[in-house]
């Protein structure tokens, strides 16, 4: 590796570090930003991926039950609501409990 170049993680699931030089490569997803590289490394962990799928499924269930069987709201909650924001909101609303007054 040449002086001044840095190796950062490529999120392929292989755990390999690849030399991306000074600028990174937008076509392959390689990055030379250390914060992005650490985030990608964390998100490529199989346990984190499984946890995200479980939370997304739980949010879809909450959206379905909360809106009295609406498939549209199940999709909105399961796909479009970020897990880290959606789960606390769902718990605060009463997980899976129908809306009152509607």
Residues 33 and 61 in one domain: no
Q: Closest Cα partner for 9 from 27, 1, 28?
A: 28
Residue 77 domain flag:
yes
Residue 31 domain flag:
yes
Residue 33 domain flag:
yes
Mean pLDDT, residues 22-35 taken together: 59
Residues 37 and 73 in one domain: no
Residues 30 and 66 in one domain: no
Residues 50 and 39 in one domain: no
pLDDT confidence band for 24 (50 / 70 / 90)? low
The predicted structure's pLDDT at residue 53:
93
Q: How wide is the angle at C-alpha 29 spanned by C-alphas 84 and 58, nearest 5°?
A: 25
Residue 100 domain flag:
no
- The sign of the CA dihedral 22, 25, 26, 32 is negative
pLDDT in tens, 57-68: 999 999 999 999
Q: Which residues pair with 30 in a beta bridge?
A: 25
Residues 52 and 75 in one domain: yes
How far is the CA of 39 from the CAs of 33, 45, 95, in angstroms?
A: 10, 10, 29
What is the total count of domains within the chain?
2
| Residue-number span of the structural domain to which 18 is assigned | 7-43
Mean pLDDT, residues 15-28 taken together: 54
How far is the CA of 97 from the CAs of 7, 55, 69, 92, in angstroms?
A: 48, 17, 11, 11
């Amino acid at each position: 590796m040449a002086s001044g170049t840095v190796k950062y993680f490529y999120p392929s699931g292989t755990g390999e570090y690849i030399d991306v030089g000074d600028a990174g490569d937008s076509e392959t997803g390689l990055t030379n930003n250390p914060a992005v590289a650490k985030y990608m490394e964390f998100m490529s962990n199989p346990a984190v991926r499984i946890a995200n799928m479980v939370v997304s499924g739980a949010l879809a269930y909450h959206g379905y039950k909360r809106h009295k069987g609406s498939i549209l709201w199940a999709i909105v909650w399961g796909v479009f609501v970020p897990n880290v924001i959606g789960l606390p909101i769902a718990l605060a609303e009463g997980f899976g409990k129908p809306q009152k007054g509607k």
